Structure 1
């Protein structure tokens, strides 16, 4: 017969002093299965100390770990005022938050990264990460209990292995993961920080989206439009008053140049819950706004193509807000850009507009590929960059790569039949090698999971740059 034991440490609080603390200084403290260690105060696990928990450790104060904390059991934060968990190098299986303090006084703060391997359960209170910290739930770990006034603020990352069909990640993201491989979805919420937790129109920061952004990274790029549903709480409406005409937006990871994803439609609103469904051919950063809050100057198209010895750049906008001008920039290496021209914008307009610029004699760059981007500048000086486009310069005996940029695959033409074609990443590691066929063509498909960036394609003595988005 097993007997569950509870050890309660009731540490007396002295008036005017900090919360009482149980300090482990150089010892090993073990909590066995079926056993609870209850601490009415804080726990300090110093460097050189070990806390092994296979049962339950419940505390009403802070938990600071500078030593070894291995919790295969449950850590239960059950205070009545704000608490802090400084994890250090902790391993945690189950984390439960049941802070019963008054609103504004029941937050568990997480100042550093933490992975919770089995379950995160919210019974009462908010769990808030620092802006630079991430709480991660690896594949198989579960999240339960989120609701109004009771959810994870900051960065919550959920990882799921390859699979098929529609999957609800549990933190407001649902998508069809078929063919995407491993999916990592990071939700940043509740921080009220421009372009960290909420999308912002760079031309007019009064135009903002909800206070949630999901960053979706996949091992394989989508082969077709992916059905997505985003859900959020009224807590994160960010003062948007109506979602009768909601709009999804996406941006590349690490950028804040937002573009429309799908079409505007009514969001589903039920009490304090909201959701919006759409389809997008590219993932990345995703968020929601409404018709009254457009996020970008909406760049509908940007192309670059050869025109004799020149390059013809053409782009179009679907709408503009306070758009002063476009500065056209070029680069011979895809890293260092300089301005080569400027085209005035149309201020604020809901009508589409077409633009173009010719860059003459691009052989002057002495590069096989010339890289181009747009720097869109608003009336107040704020700016955003477009995606990068490339044009092959003449003089390489017809050697060409297309499409370039690409998501994963490109075709090389003009190579010498039978000669090896190799692909190297930005640090010189060999990624792919194959021979050109009898027509001098090679289809280059990067293996799943390779990072975006610039790759080098070589055949014989010639080399071209391939940009993977």
Structure 2
């Protein structure tokens, strides 16, 4: 006969509700000292065993009397003597650090004098922890329990004893769930016993007995470490029928729920159901640091169990730290554009399975531990469904039974693919002799012997012998959706485009770089809206063609090798401009073969116009030389360096995803930036100067983002001026222009390089060209630094502060180095006001010699957490010249030792420095010869303490 659980028994009894209320009363700590909630049995809470101490070295295990006096009259269990001689009830364990302290509930002893018609077989110490003190009238709810073990039974007295002494329940860990450092916590315990009536009308029913709570408290100090969490997860799905919908993964908002959601019906050939990413919120504190959030998904038939999951990395968009030290990160992605219908090929009912995972490291151990937190619907995944209907295009799968010829129908299970046929290249198991396809279109392949080749990822690929074949009249290779199956770079299928052209009319799924293209053949994307996976091996010659106005969405990165091109004929290629580290187009520079000295020219961008262009992020790194115009793969920016310094390898990026709002330009009635920015970083920036040619499209001058987030802005082309930002596009300085013709703005004598864009020229530009403005916490103080590229009639600056971002007051003044200047000048100010708490807002007021003034946008500094944070600050960092300023704090004055080492530990600079008591501002000069890279700066204070930080030399 099956044994019923306690809960099952409860549900079977007619008297369930009769004892439910007393049971709940026990769990909230109600009841008398020896309350008989059953018939007439009584329970005696004899002692409680606790291990406690300020650290592992000081911890002791004590057995406390549960209460000061225990009934000793006839008919009650006799009192026990507490071995520790202490009383638990009313104990204050004092301050205990949640990092090092110990407070463990090990168990205890209870004795039950049973009525003749009752028998108790389970006994528990129940307990709870919540903020509170001994003076509070009520204590925490009993949400936890420790089951004791029966140790004796006296048949004559019917006294049953239960004991446990090694439960080791961490009470301090329960304090991690709330409160803050210094919070008082109540730690209360009670007992609960469960048994059965053995006689009378209740025979066979369950009996419960409990006793009064015993109170204690402690004070939690230190940083309360909470387990990382992953919440607020959503999946962004879009289609013509849905629009853009954020589906809740974990039912936390008014958004529709993803689990069991119906996503609509779609045509098997032309349907578009896009998974664009989603959102997530993580929390962490102490040594836990979340580094990434990944959305995992798969599509499967509703009648099958599914296969491997694909991944989409979300992008961190913000991080906020609370007063208690908890860090909250938000992640989001809105344009991943994974077409869930790609590669399906058959009609029917399908499921979309989704889960999210946050990953990071815990730095409390060496080596650091990694952790992950899943939001996966309790291991079941979030499952939505949709229907695929229509008459499917043909589907064919490569079998390779004859040879490696794409155009040989015997190599396919359903004939050679065409523009209306979806094709799959399977990932054959390792060791399989089946050849992968090669495309020789309109060409003859001669016989070849077996050989091997090394691809651009360093993988060895076996190429079998071929008897040769004649495809001289084949025409272009064609396919609709092309799926190249793979699980990793080391486990993937292969498709080689060797001669001729491959036309793709649908989606191109190549996430593990299975597609290999030789130097001369062309791959052309000729369909309507398409999704394209990039190639880790790199493309050579690529065409964007097909339906005018169609959108070709890039899913991963997209590399164009030297000698190749990206040519626009029809359609728009789109990348995710907010995920520039994972979703971009990159053009290779000039390549010289070290063996033959043959020079292959840089990849080129060809044919961009108002109707067919690349919208998103592109980049290239190419060597430039003084006096030689460099067009950087024709991406829209040309530079002619004219200074005495050779610029070396120059990194250039272009982003046309969005535009800079008016607030970044300052001055009176500013206009927004155009929808195009260039980033420029010469390898040798010190002393570099150049003529810049900035090309743009007319459609990038309209529908621009304004300060309120709307897209109603536009700029007058005739008033365009070049602007430069050196602080991450927070602030732009007007550089002007020397020419404007045929959508190209020209500016000579540019001496600073970072981020450039165009906007309307300010009629009355600010008298100071501010290139950086930063505020950083430095221990209990704040360091405010700024740099000017030029100053005209400038008297000086006021540093102002606010605690609400609205009302500002002046902290101090800094005079201009010179009234007029055309060279870079660095300034700093240290806010040493005492008792800074919360968020402080710092802004600059620039004052002209004639009394006019201008304000620069505020920066924020958070004063919570560790008071020693950023005890030393370096600026400018990265170093873009020959001087570095160090601002640091020392409790005593005296000589210190400065040391600069490279990442290998080699000492670059070592010297004595004179430090004052309080804040010292050191100037480290003659760093112009440092090579670009990362360095470690350390200063040993007069006290022997060493402060370190990392710096970067551009």
Q: 438, 441, 444: which is aligned to 2:927?
A: 444
- For residue 635 of structure 2, what is the aligned residue in structure 1? 171
How far 1:70 sits from its partner (Å)? 1.9
- For residue 159 of structure 1, what is the aligned residue in structure 2? 621
The alignment's TM-score, normalised by the length of structure 2, stands at 0.35
Change (3 A) 1:448 1:312: closer
* SS of residue in 1 equivalent to 2:478: strand
Runs of 5+ unmatched residues, structure 2: 1-404, 409-415, 429-435, 444-474, 487-491, 591-601, 704-713, 775-782, 793-797, 803-807, 812-818, 820-826, 846-855, 861-873, 887-895, 913-923
Q: For 1:301-450, what aligned pairs fall within 5 Å after superposition? A: 327-328=800-801, 342-343=809-810, 374-375=842-843, 383=857, 385=859, 406-410=879-883, 422-424=899-901, 430=905, 432-434=907-909, 443-445=926-928, 447-450=930-933
Change (3 A) 1:465 1:6: closer
* Counterpart-to-counterpart distance in 1, 2:784 and 2:523: 62
- For residue 612 of structure 2, what is the aligned residue in structure 1? 150
Q: 116, 138, 144: which is aligned to 2:588?
A: 138
* SS of residue in 2 equivalent to 1:236: helix
How far 1:186 sits from its partner (Å)? 0.5
Instruction: For residues 170-218 of structure 1, give each alpha carbon's deviation from its aligned partner in whole angstroms, at most 9, with x where no partner exists.
Output: 11111134522211100111x2x244xx775377998311110001122
* SS of residue in 1 equivalent to 2:556: coil
The reply to whether residue 94 of structure 1 matches residue 540 of structure 2 is yes
* Counterpart-to-counterpart distance in 2, 1:285 and 1:293: 22
Is contact 2:672-2:715 (8 Å) kept? no
* Counterpart-to-counterpart distance in 2, 1:181 and 1:290: 32
* Counterpart-to-counterpart distance in 1, 2:426 and 2:669: 50
Runs of 5+ unmatched residues, structure 1: 14-19, 305-310, 320-324, 330-340, 345-351, 366-371, 387-400, 414-418
Is contact 1:434-1:442 (8 Å) kept? no
How far 1:286 sits from its partner (Å)? 0.5
Q: For 1:451-466, what aligned pairs fall within 5 Å after superposition? A: 455-458=936-939
Q: For 1:50-61, what aligned pairs fall within 5 Å after superposition? A: 50-55=494-499, 56-61=501-506
Change (3 A) 1:342 1:181: farther
How far 1:288 sits from its partner (Å)? 0.9
Q: For 1:224-243, what aligned pairs fall within 5 Å after superposition? A: 224-238=688-702, 240-243=714-717
- For residue 334 of structure 1, what is the aligned residue in structure 2? none
Count the aligned residue pairs.
391
* SS of residue in 2 equivalent to 1:430: coil
Is contact 1:243-1:266 (8 Å) kept? no
Structure with bigger RCO (C-alpha 8 Å, 6+ apart): 1
Instruction: For residues 1-24 of structure 1, give each alpha carbon's deviation from its aligned partner in whole angstroms, at most 9, with x where no partner exists.
Output: xxxx994945475xxxxxx41111
Change (3 A) 1:216 1:78: same
Change (3 A) 1:150 1:173: same
Is contact 1:312-1:359 (8 Å) kept? yes
Change (3 A) 1:284 1:60: same
Report the structure, 1 or 2, having the larger strand content: 1
* Counterpart-to-counterpart distance in 2, 1:314 and 1:58: 54
* Counterpart-to-counterpart distance in 1, 2:637 and 2:662: 17
How far 1:223 sits from its partner (Å)? 0.6
How far 1:279 sits from its partner (Å)? 3.0
Instruction: For residues 243-268 of structure 1, give each alpha carbon's deviation from its aligned partner in whole angstroms, at most 9, with x where no partner exists.
Output: 333321111263422122x3x34642
How far 1:424 sits from its partner (Å)? 3.5
Change (3 A) 1:359 1:420: closer
* SS of residue in 2 equivalent to 1:456: strand
- For residue 245 of structure 1, what is the aligned residue in structure 2? 719
- For residue 369 of structure 1, what is the aligned residue in structure 2? none
Is contact 1:219-1:448 (8 Å) kept? no
* Counterpart-to-counterpart distance in 2, 1:409 and 1:343: 32
The reply to whether residue 257 of structure 1 matches residue 257 of structure 2 is no
Instruction: For residues 382-421 of structure 1, give each alpha carbon's deviation from its aligned partner in whole angstroms, at most 9, with x where no partner exists.
Output: 95549xxxxxxxxxxxxxx9999842423899xxxxx996
Q: 656, 681, 686: which is aligned to 1:217?
A: 681
* Counterpart-to-counterpart distance in 1, 2:787 and 2:511: 55
How far 1:293 sits from its partner (Å)? 9.5
Larger Rg: 2
Change (3 A) 1:226 1:120: same
Change (3 A) 1:152 1:429: same
The reply to whether residue 201 of structure 1 matches residue 664 of structure 2 is yes
* Counterpart-to-counterpart distance in 1, 2:419 and 2:784: 77
Q: For 1:72-151, what aligned pairs fall within 5 Å after superposition? A: 72-73=518-519, 74-87=521-534, 90-102=536-548, 104-105=549-550, 107-118=551-562, 119-125=564-570, 126-131=572-577, 132=579, 133-140=583-590, 141-143=602-604, 144-151=606-613
> RMSD of the TM alignment (CA)?
5.2
* Counterpart-to-counterpart distance in 1, 2:568 and 2:437: 27
* Counterpart-to-counterpart distance in 2, 1:43 and 1:210: 37
Change (3 A) 1:376 1:62: farther
The alignment's TM-score, normalised by the length of structure 1, stands at 0.65
- For residue 337 of structure 1, what is the aligned residue in structure 2? none
* Counterpart-to-counterpart distance in 2, 1:58 and 1:410: 55
